[in-house]
Amino acid sequence: MTKPRILVADDHPLMLSGIEAVLRDSEFEVVGTARDGAQALDMIPAARPDVLILDIAMPVRTGMDVVRTLRARHDKRAIVLLTAHISDADLIEALDLKVQGILPKEGAETLLVACLREISAGGQWIERSIMQRALSLAMQGSKSDTKMSLLTLRERSIAQLITRGLRNRDIGVELGVTEGTVKLTLHRIFAKLEVANRVELAMLMQKESAAPPTLAR
């Protein structure tokens, strides 16, 4: 029986080696390790992982950046986020983007295999305290009242890439769409957010990401 293929991305070498050690004698096969989100995205075509285990806070591209990019590409493969801390905004977005697993880094070595087994069987594994927090946010009304809530998934992904200074052609390559599609989508983003250009969009994105989410009452 073929083992489920796992790609792990974390900028801490000890965390990478620890995850590899935990999975070495399990029914899962680690097919690659990456030190940041950009490297993880680059490795996916050759590694062909069934599941990605992503540190939520990595340099170059964060775990959430990877999630946004994959989902904007309509890539539905399973994702597990490892986190020392996840903000309310990221938690809401991760669940909205159908992340299958969220685990705290502390104690992950004792939960990871069980998490992967549940996910491989088609389930979801969100650590209990994180799920309780998500339910609490849902009861308050989990939809952000910021302008970002006006954007579709693909529009949000393109807006995020604009903040990194990518050109339309590079964004198209990143998301697997044509340069023309990126240009048309940008016009829609400008109209929805009432900004005039890429600089204003980037400034708004930075402002929105720095602000805590406003929960509907």
Question: What are the tokens at 187?
Answer: 């016009």
At which of 125, 140, 155 does a domain end? Answer: 140
Task: Tell me, yes or no, whether 47 and 63 share the same domain.
Answer: yes
User: For 34-61, how does the pLDDT look when each residue is reduced to its tens digit (9 = 90+)?
Assistant: 999 999 999 999 999 999 999 999 988 9
Give 164's contacts (C-beta < 8 A, 6+ positions apart): none
The verdict on residue 58 lying in a domain is yes
Nearest-angstrom CA–CA distance, 84 and 40: 20
Q: What is the pLDDT of residue 154?
A: 82
Q: How far apart are CA 124 and CA 144, in angstroms?
A: 24
The residue that leads in pLDDT, 206 or 165, is 165
Per-residue pLDDT at 209 = 62
Tell me which residue has tokens 């720095």.
210
Count of domains forming the chain: 2
Q: How confident is the model at residue 8 (pLDDT cuts 50, 70, 90)?
A: very high
Closest residue by Cα to residue 159 from 116, 193, 124, 110 = 193
* pLDDT the model gives residue 140: 66
Which pLDDT value is given to residue 210? 54
Bigger pLDDT: 54 or 200?
Answer: 54
Residue 99 is part of a domain; what is its CATH number?
A: 3.40.50.2300
Range of the domain at 206: 147-210
Predicted confidence (pLDDT) per residue in 135-193, tens digit: 777 776 544 456 677 888 788 888 888 888 888 998 888 888 889 889 999 999 999 88
> Does residue 136 lie in a domain region?
yes
pTM reported for the whole predicted model: 0.71
Mean pLDDT across 64-86: 92
| Whole-number average pLDDT of the chain | 86
Do 13 and 52 reside in the same domain of the chain?
yes
Domain final residue, candidates 82, 111, 140: 140
